[in-house]
Amino acid sequence: MVAFFGLMVWPLISTPPSGAQTEQAPVEKAVEPPQPKLVGDTLGLRGRVGDGVAAAPEGVKPGQIDPKAPRGYLGIPGAPRISYILALIWSIWTGWIFATVGAFGGISAGIGHMTIYGIASYARQFRQTSPGLNRALTDSVRTSNQFLVMLAALISTINYLRAKRLAWPLGLALGIGSVSGAILIPWITGGRISFREYMGFFGLFVFVVGFFLIYETTEKGQAGKKAAKAAAQAFEKSVKEQKGIGDQGIKVASFSLTNMKFTFFGQEFIFNPIWAFVGGVVIASISAFIGVGGGFLYVPYCTSLVGAPMYVVAGTSAMAVLVSMVTAIISYLTLGAAQIDWGLVGVQLIGIFIGAMVGPYTQKYIPDIWLKRLFAVLAFYVGLRFLSEGFFGRRWVP
């Protein structure tokens, strides 16, 4: 009973009378951190770079833009101020690699922009604070790489054209396909790929190149090169003996959508233009995305598709690279709205030209097999570093 009475009375005791004031514990409001002030102005910079700068927080810390800081890459305040002397030296080295190894030239151009010039570490700061600026720097690096590859391909194409070693029917079919791939990738990925993602795919691509270089130093790879060199020497001997190729140059014997036939020094070569077109699309797409030439992919593809010797295929692949690079550059500048540091690119093109002209004269003093083994080791190191940093956010090697 006592318990029952207590239960009945307790609500009356505990409930305050109507109108009585009760003390309530003060409610603590969450204190929001002050939002950083944005730059809010393009600072005279155009396109996505200007938009990215305007959207970045203003300040002097990493990931911020100090409008009063000295202007560096692409005119961005506080961006790396790249020495033209350093750029010239590195691009001469890159041009020399183009002329001696070939497959590592575009990679060297990418390493220069990302690591040597410090653009990767700078772009990384804006991954969270201004993603648009981060992506704009990615497109700038990709397009700048392609300018350097384009010049190297142009020099090679002219040299092979003068020597009458360019199988233009095959180059035309590859080139038409490469135009499609080189337009598609800038249109789809322009302004959408972060620098970190780009580094990851770049590292993966470098790994593939490393395995390709290793293969070329194996007994099977060397046997293929011996056959190609022997064929090239035979053609050159015929040229010297006959004092010009005359009517023995590239001649189209038949042409259709599924079959193309051309002759060279009396030898007949047949291929399917559709497969050449498909190969051009795929290889140019990879090249445009990474910002490299893709010559090491064009050469074996042409060799397996046509069966022509390196004497014919090397110049043809250079022509395909040239077409895809020109198309990709135009596409990135128009569809992708990429922006270029024209002064830097101009200095680099001078270096590429010097290196590409010097390379053939020095190549004979360096054993080809050891040169490729050296660059294969470098490819695995660089590939692992970029792949780990791009896909996993930290470097696995120094």
Q: Each residue of 296-342: pLDDT tens digit? A: 788 778 877 777 666 677 778 888 999 999 999 999 999 889 999 99
Strand 267-271 with 260-264, pairing: antiparallel
| Paired tokens of 55 | 């959207």
Domain assignment present for 378: yes
Residue 218 CB: number of other CB atoms within 10 A?
11
Domain assignment present for 201: yes
Give how far Cα 308 sits from Cα of 169, 170, 268, Å: 13, 10, 9
Give 133's pLDDT tier (boundaries 50, 70, 90). Answer: very high
Average pLDDT rounded to a whole number, residues 5-17? 44
Residue 227 has pLDDT above 60, yes or no: no
pLDDT over 70 percentage in the chain: 80
pLDDT over 90 percentage in the chain: 51
Domain assignment present for 32: no
43 sits in the region (left: phi over 0; alpha: psi -120 to 50; else beta) called left
Give 13's pLDDT tier (boundaries 50, 70, 90). Answer: very low
Residue 197 has pLDDT above 80, yes or no: yes
Residue 196 belongs to what H/E stretch? helix 195-216
For tokens 């083994």, name the residue. 373
For the entire predicted model, the pTM comes to 0.82
Highest mean pLDDT among 62-71, 237-246, 357-366, 374-383: 62-71
Domain assignment present for 202: yes
Residue 258 CB: number of other CB atoms within 10 A?
8
Q: Tens digits of per-residue pLDDT, 245-300?
A: 545 666 777 777 788 887 776 677 788 889 999 999 999 999 999 998 888 788 77
DSSP class per residue in 18-48: TT-----PPPPPP-PPPPPPB--S-TT--HH
Number of domains in the chain: 1
Supply the pLDDT for residue 299: 79
Domain assignment present for 111: yes
Domain assignment present for 247: yes
Give the structural domain span for 121: 62-392
| Paired tokens of 279 | 């190969």
Domain assignment present for 42: no
For tokens 């060297």, name the residue. 108
Domain assignment present for 5: no
Q: Tens digits of per-residue pLDDT, 140-157?
A: 999 999 999 999 889 888
